[in-house]
Amino acid sequence: MSTATYTVTGMTCGHCVSSVTEEVEQIAGVTAVDVDLKTGRVTVTSETPLDDARVKDAVEEAGYQLQS
């Protein structure tokens, strides 16, 4: 198991959280996604370490930005 935490900007509501969660969950190997709306923190648990670019692409597909 591997866990990584990212910060996403632009989320303002529960729908934002759902959108980000759904997109990140589609990455192969992801087993859990926890999104904290207040802080913008997204914690991703996966079977193996994830490529940050894949997480960035998923967040952008949801309509938000991954803070670098």
Domain residues of the chain, as ranges? 2-66
Amino acid letter, residue 28: A
Average pLDDT (46-66) is 96
pLDDT > 90? residue 63: yes
pLDDT > 80? residue 1: yes
Class of domain 2-66: alpha beta
- When pLDDT is cut at 50, 70 and 90, the band that residue 68 belongs to is confident
**pLDDT tens profile 5-45:** 999 999 999 999 999 999 999 999 999 999 999 999 999 99
Query: What's the whole-model pTM score?
Result: 0.94
How confident is the model at residue 50, as a pLDDT? Answer: 93
